[in-house]
């Protein structure tokens, strides 16, 4: 059945994942953008790393955005929701200061990495192009996560609360994106 050298096919799941991940990257941009702004008041020492994270997230969004355009697909339905939610989450957590900013990155990126890993595995055979795009951003997400670990002791009670809220918001955004 397998013919010689075929162009890797797009799949319905790959298309959906592209839209969800593109919206998710937009959400991450909004989180880091508002954290960067508010950190000017509450945690100036975090601004440089937040600016670095923003550069990564913009690159990730443009990778998925270019793929959407190439396939003639629209943005995901949760794009605006991710933007608004990201701004709110970023502002609220940055108001709580340096530790909450770091806890947000750790929580957000650990959920994102788990989903990216599952998506890669699911798409490796059916939509290798999207699997490759995902592979190209994983290292940045891991680095952002690891770079935030040195900032805090996550066992503090209130930071566990921040972490739980960020995890649930991130999971909800991804779940909604896959369902809508
Ligand atoms: Fe990202």
- Give the fold, CATH level 3, of 12-179: Ferritin (1.20.1260)
Alpha carbons 13 and 126: distance in angstroms, whole number: 9
Q: What is the model's pLDDT at position 30?
A: 98
Residues with CB under 5 A from ligand 1 (ion): 25, 28, 57, 60
> Rounded to the nearest whole angstrom, what is the distance from the C-alpha of residue 144 to the centroid of ligand 1?
9
| Residue 150 or 101, more confident | 101
pLDDT at 153 over 90: no
Long-range contacts of residues 72-76, Cβ cutoff 8 Å, at least 24 apart? 73/15, 73/18, 73/19, 74/19, 75/19, 75/22, 75/23, 76/19, 76/20, 76/22, 76/23, 76/177, 76/180
To the question of pTM greater than 0.85 for the whole model, the response is: yes
Q: What is the model's pLDDT at position 147?
A: 85
């Amino acid at each position: 059945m397998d013919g010689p050298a075929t162009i890797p096919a797009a799949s319905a799941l790959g298309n959906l994942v592209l839209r969800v991940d593109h919206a998710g990257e937009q959400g991450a941009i909004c989180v880091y953008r508002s954290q960067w702004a508010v950190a000017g008041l509450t945690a100036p020492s975090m601004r440089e790393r937040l600016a670095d994270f923003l550069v990564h997230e913009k690159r990730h969004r443009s990778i998925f955005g270019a793929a959407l355009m190439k396939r003639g697909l629209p943005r995901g339905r949760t794009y605006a929701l991710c933007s608004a939610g990201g701004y709110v989450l970023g502002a609220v957590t940055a108001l709580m200061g340096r530790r909450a900013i770091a806890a947000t990155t750790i929580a957000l990126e650990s959920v994102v990495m788990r989903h990216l890993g599952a998506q890669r595995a699911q798409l490796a055979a059916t939509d290798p192009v999207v699997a490759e795009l995902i592979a190209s951003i994983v290292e940045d997400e891991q680095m952002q996560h690891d770079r935030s670990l040195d900032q805090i002791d996550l066992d503090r009670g209130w930071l566990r609360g921040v972490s739980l809220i960020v995890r649930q918001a991130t999971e909800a955004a991804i779940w909604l994106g896959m369902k809508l």
